[in-house]
Structure 1
């Protein structure tokens, strides 16, 4: 068993696509119209183009907004992306106008940071440290 697809609910798929590709650096994988303004819209990491896909899913279901609002209010990221160097990504993304709600923070086994994806979600960056608890 392996992870093939996961999703993040977004307010506007086109704005999310621009942010996730132009700012974060992901690559569009699928963009299949589903009717209206909705698409089966996925992105992948350019480092792993055949790896897991992230579905930029419309947030139209009535349960989504209260769920996401509660997470953001509590400062809880909806999704986490691994990076090699959190400080370098923080500098790159800050220069691109990304707003961080938590700066790079050493938590012992990793360095993390959290930013607003402009689409209704908080995103955590993480760089795990090699050591006894991390392979």
Structure 2
């Protein structure tokens, strides 16, 4: 068994596609119209055949209170692995990305948390050592 697809709720798929590709550096994998929305996925440029991230529309009534509670409590919706948290932190800040947690050593990992401009907090992490 392996992870093939996971999703993150976004308020606007086009804005999310821009942020996740142009700012974070992911690659668009699928873009299929589905009614008013799209089956819109991105993958890591480092693993184009790896797991896909579905940019899922957030219209379901349960999504807004759930995401607002996570953001209010500072809980990331998901985590992405990076080689160097400090370098990614500096690179993303140049794009105007707002961090809610600067790089922080947490035992065997270094993490940072940012706002993805789509309604979510995202954590980046690097294994220390």
Q: What is aligned with 1:121?
A: 120
TM-score scaled by structure 2?
0.99
Distance apart, 1:39 and its partner CA: 0.1
Q: Cα offset for 1:94?
A: 0.2
Mind listing any 5+ residue stretches in structure 2 that lack a counterpart?
A: none
- Name 1:82's counterpart in structure 2: 81
Cα deviation code 1:21-59 (max 9, x no counterpart) = 0000000000000012x1000000000000000000000
* Structure 1 partner of 2:43: 44
TM-score, scaled to structure 1: 0.94
Matched, 1:23 2:23: yes
Task: Please tell me whether residue 108 in structure 1 is matched to residue 107 in structure 2.
Answer: yes
Report the Cα offset of residue 108 of structure 1: 1.6
Where structure 1 has 5 or more consecutive residues not aligned to the other structure, the ranges are 131-135
Cα distance in 2 for residues equivalent to 1:107 and 1:80: 14
How many residues were matched structurally? 129
